[in-house]
Structure 1
């Protein structure tokens, strides 16, 4: 039987560098070996869409290589598997990065309680964030509810330097479950998968350096342009922990310019939403702002399916939804546009869209995704966004001015030149290639959305509905 002095249980930290929990596990081993463990939970595996399963599979295979082939993969309920592995290898401690999502906290509490009964130490070191959720509060000791003051406090709080990898650590070789790696291989071969980016820590760092060299300087202006490769594309790696935000922030330190500042702010948004979820666990699937919980919603399956399939008749919405299906990713500006269309043009409750995104996004993170949806829907952290209704025509004209993004994903409109592609109904040949007509009239639905929000707010909304479309 293989023995291990300590266990490093990986979850959202599938890397070897800048991993404080690895250092603590090596320290606890005190010259003995460390078992690197991943538990494939059937409940979570089944709940993830094919895209996220394939991305996890690819990242785990890369992590196994990073750990010299000594990543032990077990399948089952972690509350049973982890104590069983501890007993099997004789480990005295289990080391993890602290989890902060509601499901992760419940799981870890159960595992920690079971280990405590057996006299095994449970050690949490670090989190998937530069500043752990719950660490920042205002002067009254309460959590921040609005992003801007949180971002100031986040910067003032600061974060530690990247963790140094321990030297001389020995990784235990312990057999995986027979069907574990087979399950992952099958996931990578599932039908209908998009082309995945290269997976793993090395690929994440390579992508980061490419972004630093080629796109950071222009990031502030280019990040909203759907037709340009102006974003980092690091969100899938951050979601799964192939790279830590602390690593990125350390390399931004000392860089001047609006691009670096803006990218740091975008990382802060991720940390803000994680903090909001930590303090408000129900907000993962329920309205954060109960004042708007009385909004009436529609349940029109045909309209929702048209939105999911990129057949709404609004070119930039359709291009974005098709990008999601073909790449497992969507440009951030387009996430807001498509979310606004579902919630305010089709009057559908935001969890319907949030679930669809989680089913298809490589970077499907419950805190960022679901609170981003609430921000657009008007039930989340922004002070008063209920009257903000994104105009899918002007958004396309502004952030895809020559129509290149639309033509890339909507081939039915490839024959329409320039910005005219955003209004095919004005082009003589706009519907010659089976492109659908608009399923709703945006101007009418905008008025209806504002009416519904005003009705939900009652007297609180007096005078605030005068803002226009974005």
Structure 2
């Protein structure tokens, strides 16, 4: 007797190295591929992330020969109904360890169980599923370095050898599927090409071009193409980190070690969020609940100026404009603009985190929220609060020729070399349309430290 199952795609929009696909193949002769458009996730995603998602779905559907079923609604209602219609004995998915995903999946499990349908979770978007690594006493890690050691010692399985031929795919005709969205008209046109094929192509280009070998020395330089730009593909699971880690294990150079370290950081933040789901919206360190922050009309005006990239600090403005133009920002610059918001403007970190999540094509809740708390000093393994980035010297150090600044701030293209980082020292006629610095950094640094003095003791 033939049997069928459902594979619910989520943050795993690929066919290779797909553990849940392998599990479905072991349970059933034929599988229905499903993606559910969940408005609870789509609404806050932002145009860039939605647009990239839709492109990934189109590519996945093409690889499946048109067999991907798109439905919209509550997954706890959609999936049981579909399972009964196709006679599926089981529904398979990769784990979703984010707060909303965990709650939603529990509702899906309960709804399927009522109908006698199995709910089977296999794998996750991480090499090691969040929650599996703990200290000897069973408590979670709060500091990255010991987590990284434990993560490396724990290890992970080899990539699952799966593909389009792993199962027979049930046709999606007659099941009430929606046409694949064309995209989001509000998205920036500068997004990366979507899908699994583009992800693997980009990774191989990065490795073969020597980008990976030089990653450790170039990754902090926004003026060069020193990063892999794989973050959006990892965010949507167009490639699994295990696939990258296998490649890294074959290489013996500093670049591979540095890249592996960054993958570990991604897994660390996911683990933190799994253990402390409240940290997505609140300070991990409760002392910072007492931090005096600026709010009100004037604070909102300053925030708008920061969002638009008009602060008068060139590297900050370049980063904010890159975000609006490309849906992405270099990681070093993310730290600089975040420090400026919380320590020069004294605004809440969650304002900035929300703006990033609205525009980033790679917006990932765990990495974004905890990256912001690192900058604010309120998170786990945080940078010391007294480490206040000077945006001018940061720009000069990591963009020494001023190329990055001039690329995104055209008002400064008349200033050659590093002079682009200090336009106030040049003839005003060379950058007449660029604003003066919004604040005095030296003064605001002292103000930030004074505010910290009020809360640093429990």
Equivalences, count: 452
Residue 468 of structure 1 is matched in structure 2 by none
Tell me, which stretches of 5 or more residues in structure 1 are unaligned?
461-470
Q: Is the 1:15–1:66 Cα contact (8 Å) retained in structure 2?
A: no
Residue 243 in 1 paired to residue 239 in 2? yes
Residue 320 of structure 2 is matched in structure 1 by 321
Whole-Å separation in 1 of the counterparts to 2:196 and 2:130: 23
Q: 1:218 aligns with which of 214, 225, 243?
A: 214
Superposed counterparts of 1:327-342, under 5 Å? 327-342=326-341
Residue 199 in 1 paired to residue 194 in 2? yes
Tell me, which stretches of 5 or more residues in structure 2 are unaligned?
none
Residue 181 in 1 paired to residue 179 in 2? yes
| TM-score (normalizing by structure 2) | 0.96
Structure 1 residue matching 2:428: 3-state secondary structure: coil
C-alpha deviation, 1:384, in angstroms: 5.4
Cα deviations across residues 330-389 of structure 1 (Å, max 9, x unaligned)? 000000000000011000111100000000001000000000000010000125511111
Closer, same or farther: CA 250–338 of 1 in aligned 2, 3 Å? same
Residue 156 in 1 paired to residue 153 in 2? yes
Whole-Å separation in 1 of the counterparts to 2:381 and 2:389: 15
Residue 77 of structure 2 is matched in structure 1 by 80
Cα deviations across residues 146-193 of structure 1 (Å, max 9, x unaligned)? 0000001111111110001165521001138778335x21x34x1352
Cα deviations across residues 279-331 of structure 1 (Å, max 9, x unaligned)? 00000010000022200111211110010000000000000000000000000
Residue 122 of structure 2 is matched in structure 1 by 125
Q: Is the 1:316–1:406 Cα contact (8 Å) retained in structure 2?
A: yes
Whole-Å separation in 2 of the counterparts to 1:181 and 1:374: 40
C-alpha deviation, 1:432, in angstroms: 3.6
Residue 270 in 1 paired to residue 266 in 2? yes
Q: 1:254 aligns with which of 250, 258, 264?
A: 250
Structure 2 residue matching 1:291: 3-state secondary structure: helix
Residue 428 of structure 1 is matched in structure 2 by 427
Residue 353 of structure 2 is matched in structure 1 by 354
Residue 466 of structure 1 is matched in structure 2 by none
Residue 307 of structure 2 is matched in structure 1 by 308
Closer, same or farther: CA 430–339 of 1 in aligned 2, 3 Å? farther
Q: Is the 2:423–2:431 Cα contact (8 Å) retained in structure 1?
A: no
Closer, same or farther: CA 177–357 of 1 in aligned 2, 3 Å? farther
Q: Is the 1:137–1:143 Cα contact (8 Å) retained in structure 2?
A: yes
Whole-Å separation in 2 of the counterparts to 1:432 and 1:418: 14
Cα deviations across residues 229-251 of structure 1 (Å, max 9, x unaligned)? 00000000000000000000001
Closer, same or farther: CA 180–206 of 1 in aligned 2, 3 Å? same
Whole-Å separation in 2 of the counterparts to 1:431 and 1:301: 30
C-alpha deviation, 1:137, in angstroms: 0.6
Structure 1 residue matching 2:386: 3-state secondary structure: coil
